[in-house]
Amino acid sequence: SVCVFSLSCVCSPGVAPQPQSAQPHLWLITNQEQNYKEQERGETDSTSKDKNIIVKCNLCASATPRELSTSKNSNLKKHVDRCHANTKLTERDAGGKKRKRAEDESAGKSQTKQQKLSFSRSAVLLEPREVRRQVAEYVVEDMLPLSTVNSPAFKKFELKKTLDAQQYVSTTADIWSANNKSFMGVTKAAIACKRFRGRHTYDAITTELEDIFSQYGLTNDKVTACVTDNGSNFVKAFKEHQQQQVESEEEVEGDGEVEFTDLHSVLTADDDTQHGLCVLPPHHRCAAQTLNLIANNEVVNWLVSNPESRAVYRSATAKCSALWTKARRSTVASECLEEVSDRKLIVPTVTRWNSFYNAYARITEMPLTDINSLCTQLQIKCMNDREYQFLKECCAIMKPFTVALDILQGEDTCFYGTLQPTLEVLMAKTLVMKNGLSQMTTGLPEVIVGAIKTRFATTIDSKDALLAAVSLPKFKLRWVKEEARRDHIKFLLTTECRSLTTEEPTALMPDAPQPAATSEDDFFSFDVHLILNLHELWSLKHS
């Protein structure tokens, strides 16, 4: 490049200034510029790295301007100081270059300048249901990780405001493992899904639950219950950290003496002595999982221990397992099954409740001759009449059990008031099946009913469960057979109604969607003489 400097004459006093038109400029020509010019003519190599600048002084009076170098041992500065000390060097046409630089900068800014966004259009307010739908669509379609719901911004998105507006809420909690990692989930519209590190001890579960509840302001007065499985760690956590009943004032008064407490011992107490400071809401065990435990534990243990059913149970289940294995692994077995029956076999899954009943029931729907024909083609031992009869009797006894399990694990129409009528009808229908059974299964209905009464002992006598059932219009008192028990429940309901304070009627809740007629309608078949109008009970409040 060419660096050009203009000269303005700075003269000593008494010396006339030189006219600038005579030698107005000092031209600086670099070797690189010469190389560029020579490269255009094809005379030099473009890899020249010489950075020395050769200066031709046009202010000197000699005919040939002197060439001065800017190398390390340069004489340029000496020449300027000695010969042109009174001359001031300035950049030539500085204004033009500044204007060009300003134009270039303004052009660059105009190209990268962000456009203005228009907010003149009014915002559209979405309904809460639409917001929830779009959030779910955002998580699912983008295949976001589960940690998305653990984000603080996601948690605060409408959920906390919704929970604050509710007077009472119920929650569920569960712990599971996946890919050698443990997680805890608490649901009331997906409150938490977080990593659970360490051992799953009851005190660690208590700490995690209390932390989750406190983040959303879910106090014990607000949370009516927390539903978990029957794990011993969950059961102990809620048992050890339940709210203690406050004694009456008459019992607390005592003799009027003041009781002193050592503050130092309270502050220095370890965690084991202060574990009672954590208080958890009331605990309910999952009814569906409890029924599943009865089928897998009490029923199976009785079949294995009963002398009349031990051998036939093992042989029948072994032949069924062989059929399931062949049908699942072999395409030839599937083709043979299509020739014998139009329906495929159901392979049971441990994680799907009622799957074993459905698998056994599918086999018993086939005639014994077809089953043995299929076993012959697959080279499996054939099933005898005793084994076939055993499977049919077990399926008949367990059918009401499976229907009740499907009802209790429903989502849309399963309320807390559904539990008591479901258990009562299940026990009644199971006891009806004890007539006409062979020696192989005689006694199994009584075992099932006894296990239900044992595992649901606290629920059957629960006041809240009874009131929830009779206040549900679907059931009222139709499910109660004993006259004395109906009178007791009516007394509980009238007492509760009279204790309620009169409040302004709230807005009616929209009716829940009514499902189509299913086996649930046949399951809840009550006698006509047991029907009692619930309005008569509510009228007793003003009597």
Q: From CA 231, how far away is CA 260, in angstroms rounded?
A: 41
Locus of tokens 């086996």: 519
Q: From CA 146, how far away is CA 465, in angstroms rounded?
A: 35
pLDDT of residue 511: 54
Q: What are the angstrom distances between the C-alpha of 508 and each of 146, 505, 511, 512?
A: 36, 8, 9, 12
- DSSP secondary structure code for residue 525 in this structure: -
pLDDT of residue 391: 95
What CATH code is assigned to 149-241? 3.30.420
Q: From CA 489, how far away is CA 473, in angstroms rounded?
A: 15
Q: What are phi and psi of 62, to 5 degrees?
A: -70, 160
Q: From CA 1, how far away is CA 3, in angstroms rounded?
A: 7
Task: Copy the structure tokens of residue 417.
Answer: 């008031």
Long-range contacts from 378-382, C-beta under 8 angstroms, 24+ separation: 378/322, 378/323, 378/326, 378/330, 378/333, 378/336, 380/319, 380/322, 380/323, 380/326, 381/319, 381/322
Q: From CA 190, how far away is CA 148, in angstroms rounded?
A: 11
What averages of pLDDT result for each successive group of 10 residues across the chain (543 residues)? 38 41 42 44 40 69 62 68 72 56 56 50 59 77 76 67 79 89 84 87 90 84 89 90 57 51 61 60 91 92 93 94 88 84 84 86 92 89 94 94 90 85 92 90 94 92 90 88 89 87 55 55 60 40 44
A 10 A CB-CB count for 394 gives 23
- DSSP secondary structure code for residue 518 in this structure: -
Sequence-distant (6+) residues with CB within 8 A of 144 are 138
Half-sphere exposure of 398 (CA within 13 A, CB side): 25
Task: Copy the structure tokens of residue 232.
Answer: 């011993």
Task: Copy the structure tokens of residue 234.
Answer: 């969950």
Torsion of CA 172, 178, 183, 186, to 10 degrees: -20
Q: To which H or E segment does residue 187 belong?
A: strand 181-187
Domain(s) labelled CATH 3.30.420 in the chain stretch across 149-241
Q: To which H or E segment does residue 194 belong?
A: strand 192-195
**∠ CA(155), CA(160), CA(163), 5° rounding?**
135
Contact 275, 241 (CB under 8 A): yes
Write the DSSP assignment of 151-170 as a string of letters.
Answer: SHHHHHTTHHHHHHH-S-EE
Q: From CA 73, how far away is CA 131, in angstroms rounded?
A: 77
Q: From CA 464, how far away is CA 454, in angstroms rounded?
A: 19
Closest CA to 382 of 320, 331, 303, 441: 320
Task: Copy the structure tokens of residue 363.
Answer: 């086999």
Task: Copy the structure tokens of residue 104.
Answer: 């270039």
Rounded to an integer, what is the distance from CA 104 to the centroid of its chain?
54
Q: Over the Cα atoms of the chain, what is R_g?
A: 45
Closest CA to 393 of 445, 467, 353: 445
Q: What are phi and psi of 476, to 5 degrees?
A: 55, -125
The model's pTM:
0.62
A 10 A CB-CB count for 43 gives 10
Q: From CA 472, how far away is CA 459, in angstroms rounded?
A: 17
Contact 92, 25 (CB under 8 A): yes
* Residue-wise burial string across 506-526, b where 16 or more C-beta atoms lie within 10 A, e elsewhere: eeeeeeeeeeeeeebeebbeb
Q: At what angle do helices 444-455 and 385-408 cross, to 10 degrees?
A: 20
Strand positions, DSSP E, 222-277: 223-228
A 10 A CB-CB count for 480 gives 24
